Amino acid sequence: MDATYTFDSNSEADTDLAGRRLADALLPGLTVALDGQLGSGKTCLVRSVCRGLGADASRVNSPTFVLMQTYADGRLPVFHFDTYRLGGVDEFLAIGAEEYLLDPDIVCFVEWAERVEPVLPADRLTIAIEQTGETSRRFVFRASGDHSATVLRRLRLAE
């Protein structure tokens, strides 16, 4: 099985569709690593996922200054980390991130995941976001284990 899935977005509405499809495919206990340039749409995707899960998406914003936001009013509780301002893995662990990453009942989204990659679960869904134009993006979803592969298969079925 191919462990990747690519979604091309030409608008914010397309990105919203990708997020809603991902929300439908998500299973508890998954970590989603988000990698992409500043302004590539990482937080926008999380907002769409939360909307798809039935959470109040108006509360979703980049947790750059608070490091973590929690959205627990949808089908699955979402813990949303932003590691952009962290000095490294030790600071990430100091905020208790490992406890959340190992929780089998929640979903964790980690923005700037490459900065803390050594402590992320081996089985995770990584989404690389590439800006392909002013309003277009390419989302490449990559599974790295059985749990994330199940979510990836479910995502493909949503097409």
Structure tokens at 73: 């009013």
Structure tokens at 43: 């937080």
**Average pLDDT for 54-78:** 81
What are the tens digits of pLDDT across the range 129-159?
Answer: 999 988 899 999 999 999 999 999 999 988 7
pLDDT class of 62 with cuts at 50, 70, 90: low
**Average pLDDT for 84-113:** 91
Q: Which pLDDT score, from 0 to 100, does residue 88 have?
A: 85
Q: Strand, helix or coil at 103?
A: coil
Q: Where are the domains of the chain?
A: 4-157
- Where b means 16+ CB within 10 Å and e means fewer, 70-79 reads ebeebebbbb
Does the reported pTM lie above 0.75? yes
Laid out side by side, the sheet with 68-71 consists of 4-9, 137-143, 125-131, 30-36, 107-111, 78-82, 68-71
Give the best-scoring range by mean pLDDT among 62-71, 92-101, 117-126, 150-159. 117-126
Q: What are phi and psi of 126, to 5 degrees?
A: -105, 135
Q: How far apart are CA 111 and CA 114, in angstroms?
A: 8
Q: How far apart are CA 92 and CA 35, in angstroms?
A: 16
For 113-137, give the secondary structure using H, E and C.
HHHHHHHCCCCCEEEEEEECCCCCE
Beta bridge partners of 141: 5, 127
Across the chain, mean pLDDT equals 90
**Which fold, 4-157?**
Rossmann fold (3.40.50)
The more confidently predicted of residues 158 and 122 is 122
